[in-house]
Chains A and B, each alone.
Chain A
Amino acid sequence: MAADSVTPPTDDPDFKLRSLQEAYDKAGAYKATDEELMALYEQMLLIRRFEEKAGQMYGLGLIGGFCHLYIGQEAVAVGLQSALAEGKDSVITGYRDHGHMLAYGIDPKVIMAELTGRQAGISKGKGGSMHMFSTEHAFYGGHGIVGAQVPLGAGLAFAHKYREDGGVCLAYFGDGAANQGQVYETFNMASLWQLPIIFVIENNQYAMGTSTARSSAETEFHRRGTAFRIPGMDVDGMDVLAVRGAIEIALDHVRGGGGPVLMELSTYRYRGHSMSDPAKYRTREEVQEMREKRDPIEAAKAELLKRGVDEEKLKELEKTIRSQVNEAADFAESSPEPEPSELYTDVLVENY
C-alpha cells in the first residue's frame, strides 16, 4: 500500500478511544421492527436447536474429533452478522464456527453433513466441525489454531481496502485467543494502515478450563486496543438487539474510513469447551444462573410476546425449526461418505 494512502492514527490528544462506546451508550439497543426481531429470534433458535442436535449426534458417534458448540453465544453471531452486507463484507472465525455459518443463512444440511464427514458437506467432508468455509458468503472459516484468524482477518481487510470494494472484515476470536502475540502485531498494522476491520472478542469467560482472570492481566478486553489507538466497545453479547445496535455504530465508523474497531462481547458458553470437558472449572450454579437469567433466546422471545406476537406463531416456528434440523440430521446421516479419490483432490490447485 502506498505510504500516502495511509491516514495515520490521529495526533489529536483528545483522540476518543471511547468515542464509539459513548455513541453506543447514547444510541442504545437496535430499534428492530417486529419482523426484524422475529428474524433474529429465528436464527438464534435455529443455531440452538442445530447445536443441540450436533451434540446428540456426537454422542451417537456420527460426529468425531473436536466439536465446539455455540450454545449460549447465539446472539453474538446473529446480532453482528445481521448488520453486514453479505458477500461484500467478510467474516472469519476460529473453530467454534457452526453458528456463524448458520447466521449467514447457509443451509443447515451442508453444515451437518460436514460434521458427519460426508461428500455433501460444505468442505466435502474434508474439514469437519472446525474447518468450514463458504467463499460464496465471504465466510472465510473455520480455523483451528487459536489466534491465527486475527491476522488473516486483517489480510482480508487489507484486500477490501486495496480493491476499494467498500467491504469490512469481521474477525472473531475468543478471550483466550486475545492473549496471542500475533493479535497485537495485527492491531498495530491494522491501525497504522487504517484497515477496515472490526475485531470481535467473544468473551465467553473461559478458554477451555481457564477463566479470564487466570490468564489475562487485563480482563477488560475492549481496552486492549488502546495502545494502538483502536477504539473499543464493551457490549452485552447476551442481548441480540444490543449487539446489533453496537455493530451499527462500529460499521459506520469503519465504513467512514475511521479504521479498526475492537468490540468485546460478553457472552457465555453453556456447554463444555469441546465434547469432552471435565467441567470442574466452574460451578453448575454459575451455568444455571446464566441460562435462567441471561439467555438471549428467552429474552428475545419474551420481547416478542411483549410486543404482542401470537404465541401460536412462535410455537409454529419452533416446530418448523425442529423439522429443519431433523431433516439436516437425516441428510447428514444418510448421505454418502466422500469418494476415496477425494483423498487426493484439493491438495494443490494446479497439476504440475
Chain B
Amino acid sequence: MATAIKMPALSPTMEEGTLAKWLVKEGDSVSPGDILAEIETDKATMEFECIDEGTVGAITVPEGTENVKVGTVIAVLDGDASDVAGEAAEPEVKDVPGEGKDVGREADTDGAQPPETKPAKKERANDPEIAEGTSMTSVTVREALRDAMAEEMRADERVFVMGEEVAEYQGAYKVTQGLLDEFGPKRVIDTPITEYGFAGIGTGAAMGGLRPIVEFMTFNFAMQAIDHIINSAAKTNYMSGGQMRCPVVFRGPNGAASRVGAQHSQNYGPWYASVPGLVVIAPYDSRDAKGLLKAAIRSPDPVVFLENELMYGKSFDVPEVDDWVLPIGKARIVREGSDVTIVSYSIGVGFALEAAEKLAGEGIDAEVIDLRTLRPLDADTVLESLKKTNRLVVAEEGYPMCSIASEISAICMEQGFDYLDAPVLRVSDEDVPLPYAANLEKLALIDADRIVKAAKKVCYKD
C-alpha cells in the first residue's frame, strides 16, 4: 500500500521550509531511521528520518525547492504519485480582518474555539442560615482570623502556620496571637526573611499532603514569592491531570495601610484574580473573615487570602455557632437597595456602606454588594442586582487599570448590557504609586465621597 511522505514540521512554529537535499533516490529501499532528506528553515537545518519500511516509489518535490508548506506530499513509498493524489497539504486557517462577527465571548463555531464542555456552573450555596436566637459576639477581624486558624488546627493535624514573626513575636500584626502557646513550635513556625524559599516549602508541603497556612507579613513581600504562588501552586493540579493537589493558603495583609509609601501599599487582588488555578478571597468583616478562612483552609485548592491591615482592629458580630464556614465564590448583599448597585470588596465595602448612608440622605437607595471572593467571581449576584437597579458603580481600593472594577464592568457589558441605564463607573485609587505625604495619600485613595459622586452620576442626579 502506498504511503505519502509529507513535509514535516520540525518545530512547533514551522510553517514551511526548503527541501535542501534528498539523501535517497527513487527505487531505494528504506527502513525506519534512515535519513531521507535535509530540510532547512530560517532557523536551522534538520535531517528528516524515515519511519516506515519500503521502497521509494516517487519523489514528488525535487531538492532545492523553497517554501514547501508543511504537510505537502514530498515523496511516495511503495507506489507512485497518483496513489496519493488528493492528499494535499491541510488548508491553512486564514484570519480575515473585519470579517469576524464574534460577539462577546460567544463561540464562533467556524474557527478554533474552546469546546462547549465547560463544567456546568455550580449553583453556589448560600451562607448557612443563622438560627433564630443565635447569639452574636463582637470580635475584631484579627481575632476572627486567629480563631479560624486555631479551630482548623484543632480539627486537622495537617494544618500548620509558617511565616516571618508568626510564632514568638505573635505575628507582626498579631494575627497569630496565642497560636504558638496552644500548638507549639512544630505547627507554628518562625521563618527567616526568605519569602521565595518558604513559599516554596509551604507549597511543597501541600503537595506532600499537609495543609500549610503561609503568612506573608504583607502581600507586598509575596512578590518575592509570586513564582511559587503562580507557577508552582496554581498550575500543578492542571499540569498533573488532577493528580497533584496543592491545598495551601497564602494569607496576609494586602492593600494600602497608613503612610507606608509606594513599596508597601498595593492591592494584589487583581493580580491573583487573573490566574486560573487559584482561589482568591478578600473579606471585609469578621464573620466573613472567619467563615471564609476556615473554608480556605479546608479547600483542596491553593487559596490566596487577602486581608487588610486597617481592618484588623475593627469589630463586627460573628454568630456563636460550632463551625462557622462560608461558601467560597459567593458574594453577599450587605445592604439592599433599589436605585443603584455599588460593588466592592475588602476595605472598599466600608466606604461603599458609608456612601450608601450618604446617598440615602439624598433620596438615593443604594444596594451594596461585597464580592468576598474575587476568583471565582460571583457574576450572578452582581447581574441580579443590576437587573433590579439598572445602575452600577464599582468601588475598589487599588489601581484602576486591569482591576476587579474593570472585570465587573466587562461582565456588565457582556452579560448585562440590556439592563444598564447608564455606563458602569469605576471608583478606584488614583493611577499613581502611593505617595507618603499625608495630603497626597488622602488624595490618592478612594473614599465614600467619590463613591457618592459616581453613584449620583449614574443616577443622573449630579
Contact B190 A210 (CB under 8 A): yes
What 10 A-B pairs are tightest by C-beta distance, nearest first? A128-B436, A64-B259, A65-B259, A117-B437, A125-B437, A144-B263, A209-B169, A179-B192, A215-B192, A65-B260
Contact A342 B440 (CB under 8 A): yes
- Which of B261, B262, B263 has most A Cβ within 10 Å? B261
For residue B432, give the distance in angstroms from its CB to the closest CB of chain A: 5
Contact A176 B430 (CB under 8 A): no
CA of A180 to CA of B194, assembled, Å = 5
A-B contact count (CB 8 A): 132
CA of A115 to CA of B155, assembled, Å = 47
User: Could you say which residues of chain A place their CB within 8 Å of the CB of B262?
Assistant: 126-127, 131
- Asked if B378 is at the interface (CB within 8 A of a chain A CB), the reply is no
For residue B223, give the distance in angstroms from its CB to the closest CB of chain A: 8
Chain A positions 161 through 183: 1 when the CB is less than 8 Å from some CB of chain B, otherwise 0 = 00000000000000011011110
- Asked if B457 is at the interface (CB within 8 A of a chain A CB), the reply is no
- Asked if B37 is at the interface (CB within 8 A of a chain A CB), the reply is no
Q: Could you show 19 A-B contacts with beta carbons less than 8 Å apart?
A: A64-B438, A65-B258, A123-B436, A127-B262, A131-B263, A145-B224, A146-B193, A176-B192, A182-B224, A207-B193, A210-B164, A210-B168, A215-B192, A278-B170, A338-B437, A342-B440, A343-B435, A347-B432, A347-B433
CA of A182 to CA of B221, assembled, Å = 13
Known contacts A64-B258, A65-B261, A210-B190: does B436 contact A126 (CB below 8 Å)?
yes
Known contacts A340-B440, A347-B433: does B197 contact A66 (CB below 8 Å)?
no
User: Could you say which residues of chain A place their CB within 8 Å of the CB of B443?
Assistant: 340, 343
CA of A332 to CA of B139, assembled, Å = 40
Using a CB-CB cutoff of 8 Å, which residues 99-125 of chain A contact chain B? 114, 117-119, 121, 123-125
User: Could you say which residues of chain B place their CB within 8 Å of the CB of A119?
Assistant: 437
Chain A positions 243 through 287: 1 when the CB is less than 8 Å from some CB of chain B, otherwise 0 = 000000000000000000000000000000000001011000000
Using a CB-CB cutoff of 8 Å, which residues 206-235 of chain A contact chain B? 207-210, 214-216
- Asked if A143 is at the interface (CB within 8 A of a chain B CB), the reply is yes
Contact A180 B224 (CB under 8 A): yes
Using a CB-CB cutoff of 8 Å, which residues 389-443 of chain B contact chain A? 430-433, 435-440, 443
User: Could you say which residues of chain B place their CB within 8 Å of the CB of A144?
Assistant: 220, 261, 263-264
Across the interface, B437 reaches (CB within 8 A) one of A126, A143, A181, A278, namely: A126
CA of A171 to CA of B177, assembled, Å = 35
User: Could you say which residues of chain A place their CB within 8 Å of the CB of B172?
Assistant: 208
User: Could you say which residues of chain B place their CB within 8 Å of the CB of A176?
Assistant: 192-193
User: Could you say which residues of chain B place their CB within 8 Å of the CB of A129?
Assistant: 436
Contact A180 B193 (CB under 8 A): yes
- Asked if B48 is at the interface (CB within 8 A of a chain A CB), the reply is no
- Asked if A236 is at the interface (CB within 8 A of a chain B CB), the reply is no
CA of A85 to CA of B433, assembled, Å = 33
Across the interface, A337 reaches (CB within 8 A) one of B258, B433, B439, namely: B439
CA of A337 to CA of B442, assembled, Å = 12
- Asked if A201 is at the interface (CB within 8 A of a chain B CB), the reply is no
User: Could you say which residues of chain B place their CB within 8 Å of the CB of A340?
Assistant: 439-440, 443
Contact B436 A209 (CB under 8 A): no
CA of A127 to CA of B436, assembled, Å = 5
- Asked if B196 is at the interface (CB within 8 A of a chain A CB), the reply is yes
Contact B193 A215 (CB under 8 A): yes
For residue A124, give the distance in angstroms from its CB to the closest CB of chain B: 8
Using a CB-CB cutoff of 8 Å, which residues 62-92 of chain A contact chain B? 64-66
- Asked if B84 is at the interface (CB within 8 A of a chain A CB), the reply is no
User: Could you say which residues of chain B place their CB within 8 Å of the CB of A208?
Assistant: 164-165, 169, 172
Using a CB-CB cutoff of 8 Å, which residues 255-273 of chain B contact chain A? 257-264
Interface residues of A (CB under 8 A from B): 64-66, 114, 117-119, 121, 123-131, 143-147, 176-177, 179-182, 207-210, 214-216, 278, 280-281, 337-338, 340, 342-344, 347
Contact A338 B165 (CB under 8 A): no
For residue B255, give the distance in angstroms from its CB to the closest CB of chain A: 14
Across the interface, A209 reaches (CB within 8 A) one of B165, B191, B221, B258, namely: B165
Interface residues of B (CB under 8 A from A): 164-165, 168-170, 172, 190-194, 196-197, 220-221, 223-224, 257-264, 430-433, 435-440, 443-444
Contact B430 A209 (CB under 8 A): no
User: Could you say which residues of chain A place their CB within 8 Å of the CB of B224?
Assistant: 145, 147, 180, 182
Closest to B433 in A: A347
User: Could you say which residues of chain A place their CB within 8 Å of the CB of B261?
Assistant: 65-66, 127-128, 130-131, 144
Contact B432 A344 (CB under 8 A): yes
Contact B435 A342 (CB under 8 A): yes
Closest to B174 in A: A278
- Which of B220, B263, B440 has most A Cβ within 10 Å? B440
For residue A299, give the distance in angstroms from its CB to the closest CB of chain B: 31
CA of A162 to CA of B28, assembled, Å = 60
Q: A131-B262, A145-B223 are in contact. List 20 more A-B contacts (CB 8 A).
A: A65-B436, A117-B437, A118-B437, A119-B437, A121-B437, A125-B436, A127-B262, A146-B193, A146-B221, A177-B193, A179-B192, A181-B194, A181-B197, A208-B172, A210-B165, A337-B439, A340-B439, A343-B443, A343-B444, A347-B432
Contact A117 B436 (CB under 8 A): yes
Contact A343 B432 (CB under 8 A): yes
User: Could you say which residues of chain B place their CB within 8 Å of the CB of A146?
Assistant: 193, 221
Contact B263 A130 (CB under 8 A): yes
User: Could you say which residues of chain B place their CB within 8 Å of the CB of A124?
Assistant: 437
Contact A281 B168 (CB under 8 A): yes
Closest to A123 in B: B436
For residue A291, give the distance in angstroms from its CB to the closest CB of chain B: 23
Contact A125 B192 (CB under 8 A): no
For residue A283, give the distance in angstroms from its CB to the closest CB of chain B: 14
For residue A210, give the distance in angstroms from its CB to the closest CB of chain B: 6
For residue B198, give the distance in angstroms from its CB to the closest CB of chain A: 10
Closest to B431 in A: A347
For residue B254, give the distance in angstroms from its CB to the closest CB of chain A: 16
For residue A221, give the distance in angstroms from its CB to the closest CB of chain B: 13
Closest to B223 in A: A145
User: Could you say which residues of chain A place their CB within 8 Å of the CB of B170?
Assistant: 278
Contact A343 B430 (CB under 8 A): yes
Contact A125 B435 (CB under 8 A): yes
User: Could you say which residues of chain B place their CB within 8 Å of the CB of A125?
Assistant: 435-437, 440
User: Could you say which residues of chain B place their CB within 8 Å of the CB of A181?
Assistant: 194, 196-197
For residue B401, give the distance in angstroms from its CB to the closest CB of chain A: 12
Contact B263 A145 (CB under 8 A): yes
Closest to B434 in A: A126
- Which of B192, B438, B443 has most A Cβ within 10 Å? B192
CA of A347 to CA of B126, assembled, Å = 44
Contact B193 A117 (CB under 8 A): no
Known contacts A125-B436, A127-B436, A214-B190: does B165 contact A66 (CB below 8 Å)?
no
CA of A331 to CA of B432, assembled, Å = 28
For residue B342, give the distance in angstroms from its CB to the closest CB of chain A: 25
For residue B73, give the distance in angstroms from its CB to the closest CB of chain A: 48
User: Could you say which residues of chain A place their CB within 8 Å of the CB of B258?
Assistant: 64-65
